[in-house]
Amino acid sequence: QKLTGVPILLNTSFNNNAEPIVDSVEDAIVCYLTTGLHYLVIGDYLARKKETGASHAALETLAPALPNSRRLVKRKAQAEGGALNTVFEIEGTMSHFFARTVVEVSADVFSVLIDADGKKSLHELFEENGVVDDQRRARVSEEMHDLWTQRIVILRPATAIIRRIHELQRR
C-alpha cells in the first residue's frame, strides 16, 4: 500500500512451470516452499521465509511419496565401452507434454523411495536404508528437495507430525 496506494496484492497465476495454478492451501504452501516466493498470505496468516535457506533437518521431518503418475524403474543401460550399468529412474506415466517422462535418480534416493509410503519421514527412511553419514544425508536431502521442486515426488508432513498438530489444535 505504501508503494502503490493499493492495499492488496493479487497474483492471477499462482503456480510454477511444473504444474497448473494452485487449487488448494496445500498446493499454495508447496509452491511457496519450492519457489523463490518471499511471502505467502492465506486467510489471516502471513508466512515469511527465513533467510537461512533449505534446512536438511526440517526436510527430514517430511514423508515422501510418489504421485500416481510416477513409478520407480531400475534397469541396465549400456555405458561407453559396452559395460552395463544399473540406472535408477522415476518414470512418468503421463504424456511428455504434461511432465518430464524420465528422471534419473541416485541409488540412495531410489532405495528411500522404494520404502516410501507417505507416512514415514525421510529421517526414518534414511535410518532404515543406512543413509546415516551426514554428507550422504545432506546430498540425498538436497536431491529429494530438487525432485519435490520439480513435482517429481510429493513431500508432506509425516503421520506422527500430523497427529501432534491435531493434538495441539484440540487443546
Q: pLDDT of 20-56, one tens digit each? A: 888 888 888 888 888 888 888 888 889 888 765 557 7
Q: Which amino acid is at 170?
A: R
pLDDT of residue 6 exceeding 90: no
All residues at 6 or more sequence positions from 97 whose CB lies less than 8 Å from its CB, including other chains = none
pLDDT score at 158: 80
Query: Mind giving me the DSSP string for 108-152?
Result: HHHHHHHH--SSS-HHHHHHHTT--SHHHHHHHHHHHHHHHHTTS
Q: pLDDT of 89-129, one tens digit each? A: 999 877 666 556 899 999 999 999 999 999 999 999 999 99
Is 117 in contact with 158 (CB distance < 8 Å)?
A: no
pLDDT of residue 159 exceeding 90: no
Helix (H, G, I), strand (E, B) or coil at 1: coil
Is 100 in contact with 92 (CB distance < 8 Å)?
A: yes
